[in-house]
Amino acid sequence: MHNLATEPTLQATSEAPVVLVPRIELHAFCDNQQTGQLLQVAATDRRMSRAHVSIQLGGIPAAIQYYQTQPTPNVLVIETHSNREQVMAELMRLSEVCQADTKVVVLGHVNDVLLYRELIKAGVSEYLVAPVSPVSFIDSIANLYHDPKAAPLGRIVSFVGAKGGVGSSTIAHNIAWITSQKRNIDTIITDLDLAFGTAALNFNQDSTGGIVDALGQPDRVDSMLVERLMTKLGDKLSLLNGPGTVEREFNIEAHAIESILNVVRSSAPLVVVDVPNMWAPWIKQTLVNSDDIIITATPELPSLRNAKNLVDFLKSARANDRPPKLILNQVGVPKRPEISPADFAKALGVDPIAVVPHDPQSFGLAQGNGQMLFEVAPKAKATEALTEIAAIVVGQQKGTAAKPKSKSFLANLPIFSKKNK
């Protein structure tokens, strides 16, 4: 099993993943309409899809009145503009109607370390200083149920093609190889194309079909089972793939893929998911729940149309996430009319992170040998483009600075801010 404590960390744009909020009931009582609207945005986020959220106005007084006759939820979020003495007095009255197992989160407007200490001592689960972003709020709620001793979650980066034959799988496998071999980051490739997946072929391995065994018992999948089902491709690279056969029919449930990926991401800092070019509920959910999505397209009209549909859908479904990234592949095919990268980007509203030139000789040689492009043509322009993509995937591109993860109470305190400088 990989030891994440000694692994290189993904940096810069690769912010730590936000844990999904479990199936809980969350009630929020806000002091003003603006906060209520912010929490409503958070409630519609993909990471809160399991939670049942109710948002009301009125602050602590409204909560006290409401719970005179109603049981309190799993999580109760209350907003207050009061000072320290007033907040403690209001919480004392709230405690008389609040069940012992309810986790209380206070969203306050006073940045006061003494208030924080008193609240924690009184049994409050978290104190957040307003304003908070939707993702910061979700992160705080998720952390109420996340074991701090558990291994850090790895990032899930899904690669999907705008249409068949654009080279998404080949790029995904090469990126995973570069991150593991050249950047020393433990990486797991998960090939979700059970019938026609090429990951095993590209690495000159037999198709073990390990992921099929996991799909048959998703609720029983754990890190030990995943470790046993994976194929080691090197010290830092592993593969979880399908059988690569059409002799079986596969009925894939969205929750099964989600369960498996949640376990896989606890085994390595980076999980590269090779998503097949098809559309089904489990494909949709896999993409929506990824930390980052990379769409590979070729400079042709069908590819542009499909990429546009994907980008529009993903931006809508992932309003609080980074937008999908675009790779233009196989650019410069002789005698083929092509859409220029500039026109492609303008129509899509997304600039490509890389333009990979058409290089059938290098890619063909690598594929025929079961090797990666870096191994057979380290100085090729296509190899240079793939290396740049890998740098972007792990967040180490030039000129990118790390951003604070959240606006929790402690993060705002001067004493903690100085320690982080």
- Quote the CA–CA distance of 146 and 289 in Å, as a whole number: 18
CATH number of the domain to which 374 belongs: 3.40.50.300
pLDDT at 4 over 70: no
160 and 131 within one domain: no
238 and 373 within one domain: yes
141 against 403, higher pLDDT: 141
Query: Is the residue at 110 inside a domain?
Result: yes
pLDDT tens digits along 145-155: 887 777 778 99
Predicted confidence at residue 199, as pLDDT, reads 93
133 and 174 within one domain: no
369 and 347 within one domain: yes
Q: Which residue has the tokens 């705080």?
A: 140
203 and 258 within one domain: yes
CATH number of the domain to which 45 belongs: 3.40.50.2300
Query: Is the residue at 162 inside a domain?
Result: yes
The tokens describing 25, both together, are 């009931």
**Would you give the end-to-end CA distance of the chain in angstroms?**
34
Q: Is 260 exposed, middle or buried (0-12, 13-18, 19+ CB in 10 A)?
A: buried
| Residue ending a domain, choose from 101, 122, 143 | 143
Predicted confidence at residue 421, as pLDDT, reads 40
26 and 52 within one domain: yes
Predicted confidence at residue 15, as pLDDT, reads 62
378 and 243 within one domain: yes
The range of the structural domain enclosing residue 98 comes to 20-143
pLDDT at 420 over 50: no
Q: What's the number of domains the chain is made of?
A: 2
- Residues ≥6 apart with Cβ < 8 Å to 263: 221, 222, 223, 225, 226
pLDDT at 285 over 80: yes
- Quote the CA–CA distance of 28 and 312 in Å, as a whole number: 31
**Worst-scoring range by mean pLDDT, 37-41, 182-186, 342-346, 407-411?**
407-411
How distant is the alpha carbon of residue 265 from its chain centre?
Answer: 10
- Quote the CA–CA distance of 276 and 182 in Å, as a whole number: 26
Evaluate whether 98 touches 76 at the Cβ level (below 8 Å). yes
- Quote the CA–CA distance of 276 and 164 in Å, as a whole number: 8
pLDDT at 286 over 70: yes
Amino acid symbol at 67: Y
Report phi then psi at 164, rounded to 5. Answer: -65, 145
403 against 353, higher pLDDT: 353
Query: Is the residue at 401 inside a domain?
Result: no
Mean pLDDT of 74-87: 91
pLDDT at 411 over 70: no
pLDDT at 248 over 70: yes
Query: Is the residue at 5 inside a domain?
Result: no
Predicted confidence at residue 213, as pLDDT, reads 81
191 and 83 within one domain: no
Percent of the chain residues topping a pLDDT of 90: 67
| Residue ending a domain, choose from 86, 120, 143 | 143
168 and 110 within one domain: no
63 and 34 within one domain: yes
| Residue ending a domain, choose from 143, 165, 200 | 143
Query: Is the residue at 7 inside a domain?
Result: no
pLDDT at 301 over 60: yes
Predicted confidence at residue 408, as pLDDT, reads 44
349 and 243 within one domain: yes
The tokens describing 274, both together, are 């090779």
Query: Is the residue at 220 inside a domain?
Result: yes
Query: Is the residue at 13 inside a domain?
Result: no
Predicted confidence at residue 216, as pLDDT, reads 79
Mean pLDDT of 344-350: 95
Categorize the per-residue pLDDT at 396 as very low, low, confident or very high, splitting at 50, 70 and 90: low
114 and 220 within one domain: no
pLDDT tens digits along 194-222: 889 999 999 998 877 788 888 878 888 88
How distant is the alpha carbon of residue 406 from its chain centre?
Answer: 16
> Cα–Cα–Cα angle for 182, 188, 190, nearest 5°?
130
Predicted confidence at residue 8, as pLDDT, reads 45
pLDDT at 406 over 90: no
pLDDT at 413 over 80: no
193-208 residues labelled b (16+ CB within 10 A) or e (exposed): bbeebbbbbbbeeebb
Query: Is the residue at 11 inside a domain?
Result: no
Evaluate whether 57 touches 90 at the Cβ level (below 8 Å). no
